[in-house]
Amino acid sequence: MRPFLAAIASLLVAVGCGSQENAGERLTKAEYQDAIRNVLQTSQPADRLFSELVGGDLSQDGCASKLREFHAELEEIVDEVETISPPEDVADLQAEFLAGAHDSVDVVGKTIDRVETGEISCGEQLNRAIYGLASTERAERALYRIESKGYFIFGE
């Protein structure tokens, strides 16, 4: 799940720079990468929640509650990315990333109902339901394509 969180946080990162002064303006490559680094640092709550969801021993209510928190964290991250105006050479790739990320976050949201009804539980069942999604793979491919243009998403 780490690549998914890194993927979401990374582009989210572009927002994470939180540069209100740059809102609406295209960021430079350096600004964009700085923003990505900042967002990666803010993804720790989502990382922690995911670990608790798939590795912990949570009751059905506890699982549903943590999954709602996790979903909210992911939505916040993706919403942040929406506010960014990337450099022109990666704008289409950020749009591809966002499309995949939104689809993946939607799956996590729909999974909350399945947990609340007891159809699936935290741990391995939940991991199978929200990890390795085709939409997440699409988002990750967009990020790798951004890296192929000389940007550093997953590290230098």
Residue 45 zone, left/alpha/beta (φ > 0; ψ -120 to 50; rest): alpha
pLDDT value of position 77: 85
Residue 153 lies inside a defined structural domain of this protein: no
Residue 106 lies inside a defined structural domain of this protein: yes
pLDDT value of position 151: 87
What does the alpha-carbon distance between residue 89 and residue 94 come to, in Å, rounded to a whole number? 10
Q: What is the DSSP string of 62-121?
A: HHHHHHHHHHHHHHHHHHHHHT----GGGHHHHHHHHHHHHHHHHHHHHHHHHHHTTSS-
Residue 155 lies inside a defined structural domain of this protein: no
Are residues 123 and 54 in contact, defined by beta-carbon separation less than 8 angstroms? yes
Residue 59 lies inside a defined structural domain of this protein: yes
pLDDT in tens, the chain (156 residues): 454 554 454 444 333 333 334 455 899 999 987 876 676 667 778 889 999 999 978 999 999 999 999 999 999 888 877 777 899 999 999 999 999 999 999 999 999 999 999 999 999 999 999 999 999 999 999 989 998 999 887 665
Can you give the residue range of the structural domain that contains 87? 2-16+26-148
Residue 156 lies inside a defined structural domain of this protein: no
pTM of the predicted model over 0.75:
yes
What does the alpha-carbon distance between residue 74 and residue 102 come to, in Å, rounded to a whole number? 9
pLDDT value of position 156: 58
Residue 122 lies inside a defined structural domain of this protein: yes
- Token pair in block for residue 138: 């699409």
What number of other Cβ atoms are within 10 A of residue 49's Cβ? Answer: 21
Phi, psi angle pair for 14, to nearest 5° = -55, -25
Domain tally, the chain: 1
* Residue linked to tokens 């295209």: 26
